[in-house]
Chains A and B, each alone.
Chain A
Amino acid sequence: MKSVSLALHEFRFAQKVFWRNPASVFFTALLPVLFLLIFATIFGNDTIDELGGVKVTTYYIPAIVTLAVISATMVNLAMNVTIAREEGLLKRGRGTPLPPWVFIAGRVGNAIVISAIMLVVVTLIGKLLYDAPIPWERLPAVAVTLVVGAAAFCCLGLAITVIIPSREAASAITNAITLPLYFLSGIFIPENEIPEGVLSFANHFPVRDFFQAFFTAYSPNTTGAGFEWGELGVVAIWGLAGFLIALRYFRWTPRS
């Protein structure tokens, strides 16, 4: 009980710190919305025959939700936990009675809440500006995909801190991991424009699987509950691998 209230205490401060950091707010909250507006403006009136004639704007809603969740979880944690480590904040936290997992839990909780907010914002913008349908009947699949994906990408974010040597390198390494995967996985470019070989390569990485799970949950052509258990399984396995790497190699003290 004490630990739960401590985790909430940490979460509250993680929220404050997040919303007061202009870089966090821009890259996590505003940039995904900007991407949506830009892509929708460029490709807005097209339809994708390969996906049952779905509108490109409708395609981009789950794509940008995927990007926004990955930004709020993996990118956000890889950057901000690395900076906290290099600034000595993690080391200082270890010198207090606070259990280490609570320290991480507050930040992971913050990332998951931001993810949920972004999902709602992007979905609402899609509805209001582009008449992209809100998938009310597949809400459980959307929620499960969000929770599994956000948790997995949080673990991957913590794992990435292991390979980031300094705060200067944090942004470069994180972008080098995410940007190519966004392109290859059909987040930035509709997947009918991407060669089959590239897509099957991207299938080895969790961004593509996470997007496919969201796409099925959002697509108006989906029949049934919209759960992509296979894709979610792949995402979860990646998350577990990240969890184990972080558990084994995570550092609390500055590296540089």
Chain B
Amino acid sequence: MAEPVISIRGLRKSYDELEAVRGIDLDVLPREIFAVLGPNGAGKTTTVEILEGYRDRDGGEVSVLGVDPARPTPAWRERIGIVLQETTLEPALTVRESLQQYAGYYREPREVEEVIGLVGLEDQADSRARKLSGGQKRRLDVGIALVGDPDLLFLDEPTTGFDPSARRQAWEMVAGLRDLGKTVLLTTHYMEEAQVLADRVAIISEGRIVALDTPENLGDRRQLPTTITFTVPAGTGLGDLEGIGQTLSQTGGEDGRIEISISTHDPVENLNRITAWALETGLEIGQLEVRRPSLEDVYLGLTDA
């Protein structure tokens, strides 16, 4: 296995009485898009800012590109790109000028025009930053982080506060970074964002990692039961359905119909029985839905505790 780009063991950080990070272990591999997902105040930004060299830590071992970020060097800074949680742009400079300014700080920057293309701001290249929309500002922010051609990119909540279309555009851009061979560490509190973008996701809650896996397997999602829901007319006898699923719940639905929810590990068998039963008895069943547990279910289950 390749050397991890980021390696964290037993990371701890407290602010006065508050323990923000309580022992985190993590490896991020080369060319991986890794998401740290968690609610506000879970310790995401504290962790990332320790990795970026902005904050010192109270305990644990941290290595980022082979360097301890508590002792950052200019050579190390050449290799990382940072997008902070808050958009940070000089409002009076144009997109092109902003990128030229930061490009000047690096030994081997990317071509400014190429970066403008990467973040999709060709039409705004000569607009001042203050005139850009929120989503465009954020993309310029990412462009500034890319202009030094870093190996590792930190994106702290890149789409917080975006409307859905701006979020989609930002996602396309981040997904495009994969083709450049960058390693990306992303924090977010949107489950969907982690699911769409990340190769692996760590869910953190109250300063600890509570789950770490691919979005598909996260929180043993494959082990969790599937939910089958449907409605039947009022007054239907349900005798034949007793005991087919893990849980059988009934609630009164619209128009006096009965809403039934079945949680099962064997959805194929159960669906067959339900539909057979409906055909035999001539029952009209409505709003039939089969739903696998979403990442959101997993996330809420893990972070609510």
Contacts and interface: CB of A to CB of B under 8 A. Distances in A.
Interface of A: 6, 9-10, 13, 16-17, 20-21, 87-89, 91-92, 94-99, 253
9 contacts: A6-B104, A6-B105, A16-B93, A89-B89, A95-B52, A95-B53, A95-B77, A96-B102, A97-B78
B88 interface: yes
A16 B88 contact: no
Given A88-B84, A95-B54, A97-B78, A17 B90 contact: yes
Contact of B104 (A9, A21, A94, A253): A9
Contacts of B75: 97
Contact of A253 (B53, B54, B101, B107): B54
Contacts of A89: 88-90
B82 A92 contact: yes
A99 B92 contact: no
A95 B97 contact: no
B243 interface: no
A96 B105 CA distance: 7
Nearest to A96: B105
Nearest to B79: A97
A13 B102 CA distance: 10
B88 A88 contact: yes
A17 B88 CA distance: 15
Contact of B105 (A16, A17, A21, A98): A98
Of A13, A16, A17, A99, most B-chain CB atoms within 10 Å = A13
A253 B74 CA distance: 19
B54 A91 contact: yes
Interface string B166-209: 00000000000000000000000000000000000000000000
Nearest to A8: B104
Of B52, B88, B144, most A-chain CB atoms within 10 Å = B88
Contacts of A21: 92
Given A17-B93, A21-B92, A253-B54, A92 B104 contact: no
A89 B75 CA distance: 21
Contacts of A13: 90, 93, 97, 101
A17 B92 contact: yes
Interface residues on B, range: 20 to 34
A112 to B, nearest CB: 20
Contacts of A92: 82, 84, 88, 144
B106 interface: yes
Interface of B: 52-54, 74-75, 77-78, 80, 82, 84, 86, 88-90, 92-93, 97, 101-102, 104-107, 128, 144, 148
Nearest to B130: A20
Nearest to A92: B88
Nearest to A13: B101
Given A16-B97, A92-B84, A253-B54, A97 B92 contact: no
A10 B97 CA distance: 12
Contacts of A6: 104-105
Contacts of A9: 101, 104
Of A16, A17, A96, most B-chain CB atoms within 10 Å = A96
A91 B86 CA distance: 11
B97 to A, nearest CB: 7
A88 B101 CA distance: 16
Contacts of B74: 97, 99
Contacts of A253: 54
Given A95-B53, A97-B107, A253-B54, 12 more contacts: A6-B104, A13-B97, A16-B92, A21-B92, A87-B88, A89-B88, A92-B144, A95-B54, A95-B77, A96-B102, A97-B105, A99-B74
Nearest to B53: A95
A98 B52 CA distance: 15
A88 B86 CA distance: 8
Contacts of A97: 74-75, 77-78, 105-107, 148
B92 A91 contact: no
A83 to B, nearest CB: 10
A17 B75 CA distance: 28
Contacts of A99: 74
A17 B77 CA distance: 25
Contacts of A20: 92, 128
Contacts of B86: 87-88
Q: Sorted from nearest, which 3 A-B pairs have the closest CB atoms?
A: A88-B88, A20-B92, A97-B77
Contacts of B107: 97
A253 B55 CA distance: 11
Contacts of B90: 13, 17, 89
Contacts of A91: 54, 84, 88
B76 to A, nearest CB: 9
A92 B84 CA distance: 7
Nearest to B78: A97
A91 B80 CA distance: 15
Contacts of B92: 16-17, 20-21
Contacts of B80: 95
A4 to B, nearest CB: 13
Contacts of A95: 52-54, 77, 80, 82, 84
